[in-house]
Amino acid sequence: MYDKRLDAIVKAAELGSFGKAAQAMGYSTPALVKQINGFESQAGITVFERSNKGVKLTPGGEKFVSDARSIIAQCELALQNAKKAQAQADNLVRVGISLYQSGQRMLELCQALYVRRTDLSIQFVPIGDTFEAYREVIKSFEERIDLFGSTYLAEVDDSMCSIDVIANPRLCIAVPMNDGLALTEPLRLADLAGRRVHVPERGNPYVDAARDEIEFAAPDVEFVEFQHYDISIFDECARLGEPLLSKEIWRKAHPLMETIDVQWDKTEPYCLYYSRTPRPAVARFAAILRDVSANE
């Protein structure tokens, strides 16, 4: 869409060195220099002043690079708009997926949808296991991701996006496989007496209620707080030999941790999050998943 030699010129201008620009772009230095020299010769302008200390822009080069950046940005925007229009015209649904927020549940739902042989196609797009990552997705739904499933996100409400509760999986306790509690199911909360139990920081009302019930049943329990669930939390509990307040959807999330049911009625909503004005394909996808969940 534009002369790709502009990329080399802009990178060299940013780094002040042909060698550094070549390394950043994965080129050899002679190849990059050849591109820039050829462009200058063809265009009849001198973009760079060369010296033993590196390169710097000529006055004309400064104006040219400024305009070149605008050209590159406009071309990239044109491509993004074209891709977005193409996605809107077909039946592709881009599903954000992560190991811990999405869990096994989203994969099971998508498998059920696939069995139904709909004309929708699914593309899985990875998301980081942090609220910050999910917030960025919510702010830009349908640019890269159309929809994602997650355990309850206390920081998100329906003014920000559409939210469908499609399941209420149980809260559980995960323990190392060699822990004596791994053979006790369902777990009695009193069995946690005197143990260090890893729990997320307060803020999620469903998880907080489970934490309060543990504390009531086992007053001498010691809570170890963490910011958010990820693989490192499971690793730490396995290494230390300590229980973790976990969730049913993570039953197979870690090979060294056993997820066991608890004698309580604590659950947490599992939700679909998507745009308040979804494309038809996304709206159909969400409706099918709601139907699948309702009939299970």
Query: Is 184 in the same domain as 161?
Result: no
Query: Is 175 in the same domain as 254?
Result: yes
Model's pTM, two decimal places?
0.65
pLDDT of residue 253: 82
Query: Is 276 in the same domain as 141?
Result: yes
Query: Is 283 in the same domain as 144?
Result: yes
Chunked in runs of 10, what are the mean pLDDT values of the chain (296 residues)? 90 94 91 94 94 92 94 90 72 86 80 78 86 87 90 90 93 95 90 95 95 94 92 93 93 90 95 93 91 82
Residue ending a domain, choose from 65, 87, 109: 87
Q: Do 123 and 96 form a contact (C-beta atoms < 8 A)?
A: no
Structural domain of 183: 171-260
Q: How many domains, the chain?
A: 3
CA atoms within 13 A on the CB side of 243: 26
Helices (H), the chain: 5-15, 18-25, 29-43, 59-89, 103-115, 131-139, 205-217, 231-240, 280-294
The CATH number that applies at residue 39 is: 1.10.10.10
Backbone φ and ψ of 158, nearest 5°: -75, 5
DSSP 188: P
Residues sharing a CB contact under 8 Å with residue 183, sequence separation 6 or more, in sequence order: none
Query: Is 203 in the same domain as 284?
Result: no
pLDDT of residue 87: 63
Distance CA 177, CA 171 (A): 18
pLDDT of residue 49: 95
